[in-house]
Amino acid sequence: MLGNFSYCNPTRLYFGENALDNLGVELKKYGANILLAYGGGSIKASGLYDEIIKILNANNKNIIELPGVMANPTTEKLYEGCKLARENNIALILAVGGGSVCDYSKAVSVSAYCEGDPWEKYFLKMEDVDNKIIPVGCVLTMVGTGSEMNGGSVITNHEQKLKIGHVFGDNVFPKFSILNPVYTFTVPQYQMVAGFFDIMSHILEQYFSGEDDNTSDYIAEGLMKSLIHSSRIAVKEPKNYEARSNIMWTATWALNTLIAKAKSTDWEVHMIGQAVGAYTNATHGMTLSAVSLAYYKHIMKYGLKKFARFARNVWDVKADNKSDEEIALEGLKEFEKWMRDIGVVLSLKELGVTPDMFDGIVSATFLLEGGYKKLTPDEVKEILKASM
């Protein structure tokens, strides 16, 4: 039975090869001072930077640049962006890049006018935003996080060895996002497949939780099947437009809050993965792939019927005369086969994790109650050992 919930997603999406044509339409809604946030040199090498600068100039905008947003945005970079935003009376933050740039821009949007330390207030204490919020728009160049259509933001504090995400309300969602699959063609293979797994993990975190057999589960299964099909094409043909466009669209729907409705949601794989990331600075999607199999094998018995359904409906495992446990295990084997097919990391060793890090990673892992089993610190350590 579906419970009570409300749903709102205020982000306007422009999708397709001509999506950037709509940037000028959106810019007319905002004041003159634009904070242009981006990562390294990839958007300059691809020519996208020049296109965006041309559109900004055509709309008489004052451009304040904020380059160098890293894959795991840090508190230091957050404070830098906040200072720029305040000093220049920014009317819109335009994030050009992947999910990290979008995440970072949302963090700056809520933090620039925060009274006190935004890291402590919004990421440690998880308080609601009670100050001025700067609007954000996104031009996406890498898929995976779904940050283009949600209120999520993840920031890393290296000094405290913590990587924490805060899911803000719909007033922090990007006002618009421009999604052109062609912009994702130049992403290196390692980053591309890490993004693919991040998409899968987002769906699984919501699927393996809460009430079963509802509309959200059927949507999730369809998204997973689409991702599996298209990702296998994309690793062989990275510039296959149909595959990359379907993956881009799947990534957005995987985490725009829709399939979370009527679900408690788990997110423990992300909690462990983010703790690993805080210690290693490893690529986010790969921290998730490294721990997922061990985690799901550990909790499978607590949600056995759902794992058997996952095997049947997503991986086409035949029930025959098998037990639910046999079906579920066969499904996880098919899951692992797909992971190997696309080339994601399957071991924490590959990310530089060593046993002496275990205690620190365990202490940095938030233990949540949304999944089929709330872990203990000892169980987290066992999962880390199994992931080596």
pLDDT tens, 19-52?
A: 999 999 999 999 999 999 999 888 999 999 999 9
pTM (two decimals) = 0.96
pLDDT digits (tens, 9 = 90+) for 351-376: 999 999 999 999 999 999 999 999 99
The C-alpha atoms of residue 341 and residue 236 are separated, in whole angstroms, by 10
Tell me what pLDDT residue 1 has: 60
Q: Which amino acid is at 313?
A: N
- Sequence-separated (6 or more) residues with CB below 8 Å from residue 289: 194, 197, 201, 339, 344, 345, 346
Name the CATH topology of 196-386.
Answer: Dehydroquinate synthase-like, alpha domain (1.20.1090)
Which residues, at least 6 apart from 88, have a Cβ–Cβ distance to it below 8 Å? 33, 35, 62, 64
How much is the pLDDT for 211? 74
Sequence ranges of the domains in the chain = 12-184, 196-386
Among residues of the chain, what percentage have pLDDT more than 70? 99
Q: Is the dihedral of CA 223, 105, 91, 7 positive or negative?
A: positive
pLDDT digits (tens, 9 = 90+) for 297-338: 999 999 999 999 999 999 999 998 999 999 999 999 999 999
DSSP state of 163: E
The CATH number, out of the four listed (3.40.50.2000, 3.40.50.300, 3.30.300.160, 3.40.50.1970), of the domain defined by the range 12-184: 3.40.50.1970
